[in-house]
Amino acid sequence: MSDFKTLLAVGDLASPKMSTVSVTETVRAGARKMAAEKTSSLLVVDAGGILVGLVTEQDIVYRAVAEDFDVNAPVKGIMTPAPLQIAHDVSIFEAKKLMLEHNVHHLIVVREGKPMGILTSQSVMGG
């Protein structure tokens, strides 16, 4: 994926493991899925399977638990709509810059407009 110009591309570090949750699933169900699948984020999809948002561990902590949001309500209420996406062949340096500029820890990595993985700030920082 990477070449001399990009050195290391986001597609080289992105995790291909992408867990999904329906926009109508509850926050509790999403949290349980994260725990069972040992993941820090879930792609939120609509009835047609189209990506509409992202829910992270931080969303559950800060937007649900800390705000007394009903964990039996749909994840739509705490998700980040239209999450940031980045092309698979972009350098990790650009990805890090994008994360810092937008204060996010997850980027959806796309190839030909379709999600192919998740890039986390931990993977960019080597953690």
Kindly list the domain boundaries of the chain, sorted by start residue: 10-125
Per-residue confidence in pLDDT tens, the chain, 127 aa: 544 454 788 998 888 889 999 999 999 999 999 999 999 999 999 999 999 999 999 999 999 999 999 999 999 999 999 999 999 999 999 999 999 999 999 999 999 988 999 999 888 776 5
Q: pTM of the full predicted structure?
A: 0.85
CATH number belonging to the domain at 10-125, selected among 3.60.15.10, 3.40.50.300, 3.10.580.10, 3.30.342.10? 3.10.580.10
- Burial per residue of 56-81, b for 16 or more beta-carbon CB atoms within 10 angstroms, e otherwise: bbebbeebbeeeebebeebbbebbbe
